[in-house]
Structure formats: structure tokens, C-alpha cells
Amino acid sequence: MSLGEPREHHETIGSTNERARELAEEGAAHGALVTADEQTSGRGRQGRSWATPPGVAIAASLILREFDDLLPLRAGLAVADIAGPSALVKWPNDVWVDGKKVAGILVEAREGWAVLGIGVNVAVDVSALPPDAAAVAGTLGRDESEVEATLTELLDALETRLEQEKAAAITSLRERDALLGKSVRWDGGEGLGAGIDDSGALLVHQPDGTTTALSAGEVTLTT
């Protein structure tokens, strides 16, 4: 079954991920999709909000029965594929274009299923966002009429990335690593981004000369 089938679409919803979780628990098939024109209570990592203005962004949550531990990064690569050659994946869950966040990814997994939530600013007017969001948000700069076509493009790219051999996916991540050589901070330390290891973990060179591998958690750039 192709990704995106069956599809449940809402003009307005609190959270596509919340609805997709309900469907997953009810036995929805691999590839089932929940989308919305407007999302009012979307969430990112660490409980942050993810606003989706009406009609200008992708708010989509996929139910997956087959996946691996690279799922968030594979999703980031799929978004980067459609965003263009300058798009970078910011480990573990964002996609940047020209230093601005154009997409956020949230995976919620249970035994037997995962819900993959993807929000993409397709035609968002960044200047109209709240100041704190406008400071970091970017957009693909497409027209509002292209949101649906962009979703189709994303699902095709995601299907390809989900089927990709792990080693090839890791190579692609290394080529699009937004944190390589950048000063980063996480709960427990700070250092310089030093690439992606063979498991998909983020490598960081620490001030004491050691290198650590982060397999989970929130990482932020330091200025």
C-alpha cells in the first residue's frame, strides 16, 4: 500500500499526530495519513507548539507499521529532497534552508506502530508569524496553490527514503549535516558537531578532547 492511503483530511484539527495515534491504536494500516489545512494544537519535540496557519503549510501524520531507528532522520532527508540542494538536516528532527527552519518532525512510537508527524512551511508568510517564531522560521517560498502537490512530492520522497539501505541513508545525512563544525549544546555538555556515525548518532567533539555520540535528545546551536 502506498503512503498516504487511506487519507483522513480535516479543515481544522488540534493535532494530526493525536488523531493518527487514535487510528493506529484502532488498527489503521501502514501508510494511513491524517492531514489538515490548519492545526491549532500541534506539538514539536520537548512539548513545544508547532503552529500551522490555514492553507499554507503541510500538517501531516503518517501511521507506519514498518520502520527503523533512523525514521526521524529519513523523514528529514525526504523533506530536504523536496526543499532543494541547499536544504540541511539538523539532527535529529528539523530541516533548514539558509539557516531557517522550514520543517519539523515528531515521531511517536509504540510496539507495532509509529506515528510520523511532519510540518512543512510551504507558502508561509514568515513576517506574519509571532515574533519568536518568525525569528527562526523559514519557508519553501512556494504558492498556496502548491501545498497539495508538495505533499504528494514529499510522500514520494519519503517512500524512497524509507526503503533506502541504512548505509546509503547515513551517507546522505553526512552530506546534509547542518551541525557539522558548529558549536552545539545539549543537556549534559557542549562541543563541536563532528558528523554522523554509522548508527545515525550525532558525534560531538568536546572541549576536553573527547568525542561523544548522541543517540537521542535535544541539540541546539550556541552563538
Which CATH number fits the domain that encloses residue 207? 2.30.30.100
How far apart CA 213 and CA 191 sit, in angstroms, is 11
Angle at 207 between CA 205 and CA 209, to 5 degrees: 65
Q: Is residue 83 part of a domain?
A: yes
189 and 157, same domain (yes or no): no
106 and 215, same domain (yes or no): no
Q: How many domains does the chain have?
A: 2
Strands 113-121 and 219-221: unpaired
How far apart CA 188 and CA 12 sit, in angstroms, is 39
209 and 153, same domain (yes or no): no
Q: Is residue 1 part of a domain?
A: no
138 and 217, same domain (yes or no): no
Q: Is residue 107 part of a domain?
A: yes
Tens digit of pLDDT for each residue in 113-135? 999 999 999 999 998 888 888 88
Tens digit of pLDDT for each residue in 151-210? 999 999 999 999 999 999 999 999 999 999 999 999 989 999 999 999 999 999 999 999
Q: Is residue 106 part of a domain?
A: yes
Q: Is residue 139 part of a domain?
A: yes
| Residue-level pLDDT at 222 | 86
Residue 45 has pLDDT above 70, yes or no: no
Residue 215 backbone phi and psi in degrees, to 5: -100, -10
Which of 138, 157, 175 represents a domain boundary (last residue)?
175
94 and 200, same domain (yes or no): no
Q: Is residue 2 part of a domain?
A: no
Residue 70 has pLDDT above 80, yes or no: yes
130 and 188, same domain (yes or no): no
93 and 198, same domain (yes or no): no
Which CATH number fits the domain that encloses residue 112? 3.30.930.10
Q: Is residue 52 part of a domain?
A: yes
Q: Is residue 153 part of a domain?
A: yes
Grid cell listed for 47: 512539548
210 and 122, same domain (yes or no): no
Q: Which domain holds residue 169?
A: 7-175
Residue 46 has pLDDT above 50, yes or no: no
**In a 3-state reduction of DSSP, which class is residue 77?**
helix
Angle at 93 between CA 22 and CA 182, to 5 degrees: 165
57 and 156, same domain (yes or no): yes
Average pLDDT over residues 67-96: 96
137 and 215, same domain (yes or no): no
133 and 210, same domain (yes or no): no
25 and 49, same domain (yes or no): yes
Average pLDDT over residues 52-70: 93
